[in-house]
Structure 1
């Protein structure tokens, strides 16, 4: 009896909530997400900076939802930095700030102390930067790892500058 009631509720819910959505027409893509062309431009600019400073890097680009859109690992870049670069990008996007800024408010005594344990692990040192389009809309983030935190951040900033 209980299964039948749950099945009936499920069918009614689908019927009631799906019909208006279908009547409005197809779902439209929302603005504010990085395109593959933009991701490639960011990646190329970041890679150019990494080559210029002669530090092999892992470069990750995530979309507005924090999903991996593009990734590049230079020859000889640390294997352990693959995950770090991706998490830097995701961290920046999840909290809409650079990983350097988030790190500053997450040290002992600060209001976000311990936040790195959330969201399956965050990275709280420099190298994660938001990607903002020409209309000042956040469309994703870039995360870079392989050098010092300052080198990582300089490569990330060079990538982000490609969208301006």
Structure 2
């Protein structure tokens, strides 16, 4: 491969504050078209950062398609009379279909969300805000020079897509929305004695579990593992039993005699997956089949997601305090033991 060393990256032509479009020279660098092109370039770079951040193959491929579409939009801004750079309505429709598909895959709260539940979703929210800025610049350019109508529609849908994608990533990470919970005042009996509200009862249960912040304690995890081990012995299984907190971090891991070496890593991943997606890994496996909502999720998060039975979220009164992972038998056997673990959770009090 030969390299022309006489061609330099800098040309000095922009030193006077002007630049060129495809067929227009000496355009001021603060021209609305240049502002728009620069913002779309910034958006494309943000998507590039996301592609390199360990996201699922499916979303990475979608981001790459979006980058290519954005480059077409940039070419259309620089050369607005070239029909090769104009979009058909089907390009917008594809993005709308992807938005609808993602929204069907998780429960999305209809309220304001504070970005920052996870690093990857926060970066996606940054890309979303850049997309909105690009859309505003496009409106300004359209008023002066006109732009492709489908390019305008695409940028509008793109911001919506990035918002839903960020919330989807929060869901996969197990992030919960920021909410303000107002405690109900304690009720009084006829004799004036203070009685416990439902909220107080839940808090008392959590405190007894050792959960000041709603997470399973090491002591409670050990008791649960003991119960689960008894069930494994009854079924003739030699398993690894893992308990993690609601954040997916390990709390306790127990290796039974003669358990498979590979079961250690698998059990921990099952526990992690169950809290990440807020469902059992057996249920997730059904949703991860080709054509289903979570198809390809096992490739996400650097391979930490497990899509076969044996992992369940541990919950008290609908509140997830951790996850349980069991690995040692068949997928169905592991799932049965994990379900047993959830069923006896309250009995360890």
Among 69, 80, 84, the alignment partner of 2:266 is: 84
Where do 5+ consecutive residues of structure 1 fail to align?
1-28
TM-score (norm 1): 0.78
Look up the match of 1:59: 241
1:10-89 aligned at under 5 Å gives the runs: 31-89=213-271
- Shift of the alpha carbon at 1:136? 2.6
Q: Secondary structure at the match of 2:325?
A: strand
Following the alignment from structure 2 to structure 1, what is the Cα–Cα distance between the partners of residues 279 and 296? Answer: 17
1:139-154 aligned at under 5 Å gives the runs: 139-154=321-336
The answer on 1:161 being equivalent to 2:161 is: no
Write out per-residue CA displacement over residues 8-55 of structure 1, whole angstroms, 9 at most, x where no aligned residue. Answer: xxxxxxxxxxxxxxxxxxxxx862111112211211111010011111
Look up the match of 1:126: 309
Q: Secondary structure at the match of 2:263?
A: helix
- Shift of the alpha carbon at 1:139? 0.2
Moved over 6 A (4+): none
Following the alignment from structure 2 to structure 1, what is the Cα–Cα distance between the partners of residues 263 and 240? Answer: 6
Following the alignment from structure 1 to structure 2, what is the Cα–Cα distance between the partners of residues 125 and 78? Answer: 17
Following the alignment from structure 1 to structure 2, what is the Cα–Cα distance between the partners of residues 34 and 63? Answer: 6
TM-score (norm 2): 0.38
Q: Secondary structure at the match of 2:237?
A: coil
Where do 5+ consecutive residues of structure 2 fail to align?
1-210
Structure with the larger strand share: 1
Structure with the larger helix share: 2
Following the alignment from structure 2 to structure 1, what is the Cα–Cα distance between the partners of residues 296 and 318? Answer: 30
Q: Secondary structure at the match of 2:345?
A: coil
Among 288, 299, 323, the alignment partner of 1:106 is: 288
Q: Secondary structure at the match of 1:120?
A: helix
Q: Secondary structure at the match of 1:86?
A: helix
Higher relative contact order (CA 8 A, sep 6+): 1
Write out per-residue CA displacement over residues 56-79 of structure 1, whole angstroms, 9 at most, x where no aligned residue. Answer: 001110001100001011110100
Task: Pick the structure with greater CA Rg.
Answer: 2
